C-alpha cells in the first residue's frame, strides 16, 4: 500500500474556530472552553483513501494573534494546501481573511510556482446572527482565487469531513501532476469530482468547485 504525506495549514483570526476544527476533524470532539494557540499546534490524521492508498495529513493550526505573524513564513513552508477560516458573526474576521490569503500567496507556493490550494470556511453557521452574506463570500472567493468555500459549524460537526475531503482531492490532483501519474491511476486513487454540498446552509461554490 502506498502512502502520501500532506501538510495542511489552518489560518485565520483568533477565536474563529481553527483549533476546534482540527479537534472535530481528527477526534470528532468539541470543547466549549477557548484556549489560545501559542505559535502553532500540530495534529495528525490518517485517511484510507482507497484499497491501495493511505494519506497522512499533518495539520498545522497556526495562531491568529498579530504578534505571531512574523513567523508565518516558517509555518507556511512546504504546505500542500490551506484552510482560511472566518466567523460569520464577526465581519472583521471576513475582511481579514483576505489578508491571510494574501500573506500566504506572498510567502508560499507549490513546486511549480502556483498558489497553494486554499479553501475558505465560513464558520459558526449554527448561530442565527450573521454579518456576512453568501454573495459577498462568493465574490471574494472568485476575486482572490480560492478553490471553493462553504459554511461550516464546528460545534455541530457540519461540513467538516466534506470540506477536508474536497481539499484532499485538490492535493491528490496536484500530487498526480507533480509525480507524473496518469489520469487513470488517479481515478483509482479516490472518488472523482468531490463537491462540497450542504443542505443547511446551501453552498455557493466558486467556479472551481461546482455542484
- Could you report the per-residue pLDDT of 112-143, keeping only the tens digit for each? 889 999 999 999 999 999 999 999 999 999 99
* Res. 67: pLDDT tops 50: no
User: Which whole-number Å values give the CA distances from 211 to 86, 123, 158, 207, in the listed order?
Assistant: 23, 20, 18, 9
Domains within the chain, CATH numbers bracketed: 2-189 (3.40.50.300)
Sign of the dihedral defined by the CA atoms of residues 196, 77, 107, 114, in that order: negative
* Res. 189: pLDDT tops 60: no
Q: Which residues of 185-205 are buried (b: 16+ CB within 10 A; e: fewer)?
A: ebeebbeeebebebeebebbb
What is the spatial order of strands in the sheet that 148-151 belongs to? 40-50, 53-62, 2-11, 81-87, 118-123, 148-151
Please state, in angstroms and rounded to a whole number, the distance separating the CA atoms of residues 205 and 163.
12
C-alpha grid cell, residue 128? 442565527
The predicted model scores a pTM of 0.80
Query: Is 148 in contact with 209 (CB distance < 8 Å)?
Result: yes
> In this predicted structure, which of 16-25, 33-42, 112-121, 156-165 has the lowest mean pLDDT?
33-42
* Res. 207: pLDDT tops 60: no
61 phi/psi in degrees, rounded to 5: -95, 105
Please state, in angstroms and rounded to a whole number, the distance separating the CA atoms of residues 114 and 130.
34
Amino acid at each position: 500500500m502506498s502512502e502520501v504525506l500532506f501538510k495542511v495549514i489552518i489560518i485565520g483570526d483568533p477565536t474563529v474556530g481553527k483549533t476546534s476544527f482540527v479537534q472535530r476533524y481528527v477526534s470528532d470532539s468539541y470543547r466549549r472552553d477557548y484556549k489560545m494557540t501559542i505559535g502553532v499546534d500540530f495534529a495528525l490524521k490518517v485517511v484510507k483513501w482507497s484499497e491501495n492508498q493511505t494519506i497522512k495529513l499533518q495539520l498545522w493550526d497556526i495562531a491568529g494573534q498579530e504578534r505571531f505573524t512574523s513567523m508565518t513564513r516558517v509555518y507556511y513552508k512546504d504546505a500542500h494546501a490551506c484552510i482560511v477560516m472566518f466567523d460569520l458573526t464577526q465581519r472583521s474576521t471576513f475582511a481579514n481573511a483576505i489578508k491571510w490569503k494574501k500573506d500566504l500567496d506572498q510567502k508560499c507556493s507549490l513546486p511549480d510556482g502556483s498558489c497553494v490550494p486554499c479553501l475558505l470556511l465560513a464558520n459558526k453557521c449554527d448561530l442565527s446572527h450573521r454579518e456576512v452574506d453568501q454573495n459577498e463570500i462568493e465574490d471574494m472567493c472568485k476575486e482572490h482565487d480560492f478553490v471553493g468555500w462553504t459554511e461550516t459549524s464546528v460545534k455541530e460537526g457540519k461540513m467538516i469531513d466534506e470540506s477536508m475531503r474536497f481539499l484532499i482531492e485538490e492535493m491528490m490532483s496536484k500530487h498526480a501532476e507533480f509525480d507524473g501519474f496518469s489520469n487513470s491511476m488517479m481515478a483509482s486513487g479516490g472518488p472523482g469530482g468531490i463537491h462540497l454540498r450542504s443542505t443547511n446552509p446551501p453552498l455557493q461554490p466558486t467556479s472551481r468547485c461546482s455542484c
